[in-house]
């Protein structure tokens, strides 16, 4: 299962951490993992480098922490909405907290 942890303080979102694999299908054919990977990779590429405090992107793991008040927080919101859309149809394979 892909586990997404939305990082926030005082109800203000500032980052996210994504761990695991969906196990929807075999490696190379897993559409859930492919979708999550595309959303995360594309989103991370859209961040302003100056807005990033911490960023990691590896197989089965991704994390980003953005500076408070940065313009890239809008991109982060978009990433979260896209992941929630996948969760709506495939909650057995992706969990967002």
Q: Return the active site residues.
A: 21, 33
- Taking the C-alpha atoms of residue 8 and residue 3, their distance in angstroms, rounded to an integer, is 16
Q: What is the DSSP string of 46-59?
A: HS-GGGEEEEEEET
- Taking the C-alpha atoms of residue 24 and residue 26, their distance in angstroms, rounded to an integer, is 7
- Taking the C-alpha atoms of residue 25 and residue 17, their distance in angstroms, rounded to an integer, is 23
């Amino acid at each position: 299962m892909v586990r997404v942890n939305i990082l926030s303080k005082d109800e203000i979102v500032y980052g996210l951490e994504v761990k695991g694999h969906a196990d929807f299908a075999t490696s190379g054919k897993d559409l859930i993992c492919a979708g999550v990977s595309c959303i995360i990779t594309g989103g991370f590429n859209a961040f302003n480098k100056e807005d990033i405090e911490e960023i990691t992107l590896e197989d089965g793991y991704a994390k980003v922490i953005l500076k408070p008040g940065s313009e890239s927080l809008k991109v982060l919101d978009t990433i979260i909405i896209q992941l929630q859309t996948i969760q709506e149809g495939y909650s057995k394979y992706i969990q967002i907290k």
